[in-house]
Amino acid sequence: MPHSTYMRDRIGSAVIVPDEPVVAGSYTSFDLIYTAGFFGIDDSGSIKIVQRFATDMAKIQFDDPTAPNYVSIEASNKAVLSYHWDVKNNIRPWGKTLYIKIVKGYFREGDQIIVRYGDKRQGSPGVRMQTFCEDTLEYKVLVDAFATYDYVELPQSPTINLVPGYPARWKAVLPTTRRPKETFRLSIKAEDRWGNPSDRTDATVFLRPSLPVAGLPGQITFTPGMMTSVTENLTVDTEGDLVIDVTDASGTILTSSNPCRFDSSAALLPFWADMHGQSEETIGSNSARDYFSFARDKAFLDATCHQGNDFQITKEFWQEINDLTREFDDPGRFVAFPGYEWSGNTGLGGDHNIIYLREGEQIHRSCHALVYDLSDADTDRHTTRELFETLKGRDVFVYAHVGGRYADLSVAKEADIQPAVEIHSAWGTFEWLLHDALSMGMTVGVVTNSDGHKGRPGASYPGASMFGCYGGLTCFLARELTREAIFDCLKQRHHYGTTGVRMVLDTRISPDVMMGDCVTLNSDTVDLSIAALCPEAIERIEIFNGTERVETIRPYRADDLGRRIRVIWEGAEYRGRGRETIWDGAAAIEGNSFEDTEAINFWNQENQLVQGDPASLSWKSLTTGGLSGFEALLKDPAAGTVKIDTPLLQCSLKVSDIGIDDTVFDAGGLGRKIKVCRVPDDNTTREMAITKQVKLKAGSVNPLYVKVTLTDGHMAWSSPIYITAE
């Protein structure tokens, strides 16, 4: 126990009223009432009301009773209180703290502190609640009854049941490649505005496939209480690309599925995974059982792995993780791996994801910082060098990761067990980590996952917190859906990563040499074939040789351009925890006007792109390595000047000077910049199949990979093909 247990049953109690479900992300009000126990609270004693790191409830304020998120606090006996809120004033993961101190007076048994969250009595609309669902959102109350600053946690924590809101959007998921006549499934759900699967749907939807699908019903009825619909045992008899439109009764498209390619020559099949996330037993939310269930049943993943911070994983919880993966692992249907996040300080190697092939393996923690049973402390490995030496020869793979800490690959590397680097998660986009690995001569593949803390692996929206991105997905190209086949895929680096979009991506230099492979060629050039089939239009494909971008390919030419411009801001402050870059700003156009705008990667529903008048836009936005921005259709294709004003950068550009290539305004930091270019008025290209000749560097290894950017801001990266040019 991190807090004292002295006389817990005589230290008091706390309740929340009203005791009723609250819609996630909504504005509400409630009272948390602490009642002092037998000892009361002495003069200068205090209480803390603490919440998990993962919660993204709005930051509370005490100054303006008419504004959102106002909180009032009073003592029933009129004692004088002082209080403040701090994001990190208690032991992890319960860091978010409302601290309340008695500065004049004291409490006897039965005296109360009443905390009115979202106090509406003077006009506040309430407090904006956590944006993701949780059956028992806890408000732990810690009491310093004796004014010693030694806190006792109340035996019973008051909780709130956070439930989903009404549907705001629909999602339909198919596999991305199958062979003709192979069975597959269609999964459909509705999500509320914050990305929670909604059980408040009362509608009939209609299915309109682009190819004949045996077994597909014409319609599906959702009733209240129903979160998802999964239709199994579907087949397509011919080769082709299938998209299923989901419509209402009038034929209006509610959503379209990702494309599924039916290819009789496919030697490997794609299986989609989020291999990195946490639950409430460490620093996330909801239980580990809920985690695996959500991945399988609500995110429609093929595979997952739980990745709790090792210094919070007790022996008992490690056993529970192993029990859960053994229970959920169902070859051919859903694959669950045991694992953990080795969470050493960056100077000792930094975050790495450990993924075991089977249960029963020893956990080698980076330390026992929050594990108070030290009986197995001798199994700790405090540096990645020590860790890799211990893991060598075992059935295990390791990903380098960037989270709060980031992986420093220079501390240690081990080719046999370190096949991949994770370059995107809900924390941001970190292509620099791949470049670190390639610069050091490492042979690695690309993975992208969520590191989700909100209990939604595979569909990890960032909510309203410091997380800046939608969580990623990794596509494993494997012979079958089993642990062994995915491990073989990892060993060969036959996989690619995306920022959460499901798409077909294939790169190869011959029918037998694909992404991840290593070959030696007696040539100074190579023909790189790229095939991409996407659910949204392709904005560009970039070819890299190691850290060097060698070509940018667009699905249009300069004479296809019209009145539409694209403005992107991207990058991070630096590699560490405080990487958030604030881009709150505005754009104005002189001598012209914006006729239509589309936001790109505005995930936070409270921070949106707003058009004030025909000539001005404003926004609140942050990036943590990824990108955000907008496209705008101009009234005149050539007139006027665009001016952009952000905290980091102020710039202007004549509309007539905006062309197919990026105009780049550098903002320092880690890849921080604003890019402006012109794009077609209506880009409908969702498929590209191209072959490009790439010049090789003689006498060295050439890691060739591609990056695909879609018009909606989603991205994908292939694992490199490693070509040694003799």
534-570 pLDDT, tens digit each = 999 999 999 999 999 999 999 999 999 999 999 999 9
- Helices and strands (DSSP H and E) totals, the chain: 5, 58
Q: Is 356 exposed, middle or buried (0-12, 13-18, 19+ CB in 10 A)?
A: buried
Cα 134 from Cα 405, distance rounded (Å): 27
Tokens representing 52 are 């998990």
Measure the CA–CA gap between 66 and 72, rounded to whole angstroms: 12
Long-range contacts of 612-618, Cβ-Cβ distance < 8 Å, separation of 24 or more: 615/588, 615/589, 615/590, 616/586, 616/587, 616/588, 616/589, 617/586, 617/587, 617/588, 618/585, 618/586, 618/587
Percent of the chain past pLDDT 90, that is, above it, reads 96
pLDDT band at residue 93 under the 50/70/90 scheme: very high
Average pLDDT over every residue of 102-122: 98
What band does 309 get if pLDDT is binned at 50, 70 and 90? very high
463 pLDDT above the threshold of 70: yes
Distance CA 275, CA 650 (A): 40
Beta strands in 52-90 (DSSP E): 71-75, 80-86
Structure tokens at 6: 């002295």
Chain-wide mean pLDDT for the chain?
96
DSSP state of 324: H
Mean pLDDT score, 109-125:
98
pLDDT in tens, 408-442: 999 998 888 999 999 999 999 999 999 999 999 99
Q: Largest Cα–Cα distance in the chain?
A: 87
Partners of 71 in the β-ladder? 117
pTM: 0.96
Q: For residue 68, what pLDDT is reported?
A: 97
Band of pLDDT at residue 577, cut at 50, 70 and 90: confident
Higher-scoring residue by pLDDT: 415, 132:
132
| pLDDT at residue 1 greater than cutoff 70 | no
Is 470:461 a contact under the CB 8 Å cutoff? yes
Residue 432 backbone dihedrals phi, psi, to 5 degrees: -60, -25
Report, as an integer, the average pLDDT of 385-405.
Answer: 95
Mean pLDDT over 34-62 rounds to 96
Domains observed in the chain: 8-163 (2.60.40), 169-266 (2.60.40.10), 279-500 (3.20.20.140), 504-555+695-726 (2.60.40.10), 556-679 (no CATH)
Distance CA 653, CA 656 (A): 8
Secondary structure E strands in 195-298? 203-209, 219-222, 228-234, 240-242, 244-247, 253-256, 260-262, 269-274
CA distance 47 to 101: 7
Residues shown for the chain: 726
What number is the average pLDDT over the span 93-117? 97
State pLDDT tens for residues 194-236. 999 999 999 999 999 999 999 999 999 999 999 999 999 999 9
Show the CA angle centred on residue 375, arms to residues 371 and 381, nearest 5°.
70
Q: Which amino acid is at 200?
A: R
Both tokens of 378, joined, read: 């001798």
DSSP for 515-554, please give it. Answer: TT-EEEES-SEEEEEEEEE-SS-EEEEEEEETTEEEEEE-
Tally of CB atoms within 10 A around 639: 15
C-beta of residue 181 within 8 angstroms of C-beta of residue 265: no
Pick the range with the lowest mean pLDDT from 4-8, 57-61, 512-516, 720-724.
4-8
pLDDT tens digits, 54-86: 999 999 999 999 999 999 999 999 999 999 999
Compute the average pLDDT of residues 571-583: 92
% of the chain at pLDDT higher than 70: 100
Give tens-digit pLDDT for 641-650: 999 999 999 9
Q: If we measure between CA atoms, which residue out of 588, 577, 587, 580 comes closest to residue 604? A: 580
Asked if 611 and 617 count as a contact pair (C-beta separation under 8 A), the reply is yes
**Is there a cis peptide before residue 93, judged by omega within 30 degrees of 0?**
yes
